[in-house]
Amino acid sequence: MLTSLIALAALSLHAAGLFAAMHAVMHTRTPQGALAWALGLVLVPYFTLVPYLFLGASRFHGYVHLKRLRHRTRERQAAAHDWPERGTYLQRHAPLPSCSRYAAIGNMLGAHFHGGHRLRLLVDGAATFEAILGAIAGAEHYVLVQFFIFHDDALGRRVQQALLERAAAGVAVCVLYDGIGSHDLPRHYVEALRAGGVRIHPFATRRWRNRFQLNFRNHRKVVVVDGWRGFVGGLNVGDEYLGSRPPLSPWRDTHLELQGPGVADLQQSFAVDWYWVTGERPPFRPPREGAGEASTLIAATGPADLQESASLLFVTAIHAARERLWLTTPYFVPDQAVMAALQLAVLRGVDVRVLLPARPDHRTVFLASTLHAYDAVRAGIRVFRYRPGFLHQKVLLADHDTAMVGSMNLDNRSFRLNFEIAAFSVERAFAAEVAAMLEADFALADPVGRDEYRGAPYLKRLAMHVARLFGPIL
């Protein structure tokens, strides 16, 4: 009897694995991923069925429907994005002509470059949160806050207190955090904010088709104050982002404050995420008159996009570079399209550099990244490892006029699975400021040679190759 039950259970698992394999073949984005899932589900469903349930989906279906509905319904879009003088306002802030070489990015995302931005580069956590907390303290109408991670530590409590103070003053405060990224955030932290009048919610998959998914994380970091001050970049809310947690300290990161038309686009990104979670619209006020010279496009990407938009954004920017292309990322696990674009840039004579951390925060990702770094060095790309502490910044510098600061890593999770956001800006003065920052970083970095891989013990090199197999879900 027991043997029959075991045989029936095994047969049921193999049948379920077969159906799941058919689903994987039909819906997995890449042939390599489809083949890997299908083989695993058919041959060893005992080990792959549960991971496929949590990691197998490639589209955030409910969110896709919401985006399509938003595009069809003018009223929803207007409530979050338009205002009566929007057309004349944007006419006064036309983008620089040199933005035209990035037209494919705007066409893909349905976004636009706008001129008239004042940009402020925020280097590291102290400068970033001094600026953000200062802006929150001066809020008169509303504050929109979105981070991947909130921690209940010293910085987390400072942010909590700042939000509670503004809510007590009658300011509308809306907060989004990622349910997986902030998995260890205690309930009392959230309840204290709610009790103080803050509207706070986790970003969760929520709909039944995505209920079990660990993918589709909202990795965006957005703060908007009163509709005219916006912040975007790589930092989350936690003491480690101030460099207070060894062994990764000092923590190296970059954020950006912008004022100008792009703040409306930051609000639009937040509004869609907020509507997905709450079914309501957050407050909105139009941005103030632009007071700078930079042209900026807000690039909001994610698994609801028809294309793999984050990957294509990098490919477009890399192909447009003619003299210089510098990238910084904590996780260097590029897909084939991005790696090919980097190789072609080297062949065009472009100065291509990639700055990576010397210390790992995720061992498996670090192993895979080391193998990709070896491939990059063999292709003529100059790769460096930042010595002082963990490097978490996500910055792109192209030629002498273009810079991007945001939340996007150079890995499959950012390219295809996470909701991400970045400010893509064209202005020579701002690009020069970013270049000076990166030159200081490179001065504290060691070049990576082929011996980093070749000189490693055999078992470690084997581990690198095994880790790279998991690139699609790292």
Catalytic residue from among 67, 81, 151, 392: 392
CB 156 within 8 A of CB 150: yes
How many other C-beta atoms lie within 10 A of the C-beta of residue 340?
14
How many other C-beta atoms lie within 10 A of the C-beta of residue 97?
9
Catalytic residue from among 394, 401, 411, 441: 394
Alpha carbon of 203 to those of 221, 291, 360, 449: distances in Å?
13, 34, 27, 41
Helix (H) or strand (E) holding 58: none
Asked if 14 is an active-site residue, the reply is no
Query: In order of start, what are the domains of the chain with their CATH numbers?
Result: 2-55 (no CATH), 61-100+112-294 (3.30.870.10), 309-473 (3.30.870.10)
Catalytic residue from among 67, 81, 114, 221: 221
Confidence at residue 73, expressed as pLDDT on a 0 to 100 scale: 40
The model's pLDDT over 7-38, given as tens digits with 9 standing for 90+, comes to 666 677 667 767 666 776 676 666 666 766 66
DSSP-derived 3-state class of residue 224: strand
Burial class (CB in 10 A: 0-12, 13-18, 19+), 28: buried
Catalytic residue from among 124, 273, 305, 399: 399
How does DSSP assign 99-110, residue by residue?
GGGGHHHHHHHT
Locate all alpha helices (DSSP H) within 304-406, ordered by sequence: 309-320, 336-347, 363-378
The pTM for the full model equals 0.88
Look at the alpha carbons of 363, 364, 366, 367 in this order and tell me if their dihedral is positive or negative: positive
How does DSSP assign 443-470, residue by residue?
HTEEE--THHHHTS-HHHHHHHHHHHHT
Confidence at residue 212, expressed as pLDDT on a 0 to 100 scale: 46
First to last CA, the chain: 43
Report the interhelical angle of 262-278 vs 74-81 (nearest 10°).
Answer: 130
CA distance 148 to 177: 5
Residue with tokens 């920052």: 437
Low pLDDT (below 50) residues in the chain:
68-80, 207-213
Longest Cα–Cα distance in the chain = 80
What is the DSSP-derived secondary structure letter of residue 245?
S
DSSP-derived 3-state class of residue 391: strand
Asked if 460 is an active-site residue, the reply is no
DSSP-derived 3-state class of residue 226: coil
Confidence at residue 437, expressed as pLDDT on a 0 to 100 scale: 98
Confidence at residue 76, expressed as pLDDT on a 0 to 100 scale: 45
Catalytic residue from among 226, 335, 401, 411: 226
What is the DSSP-derived secondary structure letter of residue 204?
-
How many other C-beta atoms lie within 10 A of the C-beta of residue 77?
15
Asked if 392 is an active-site residue, the reply is yes
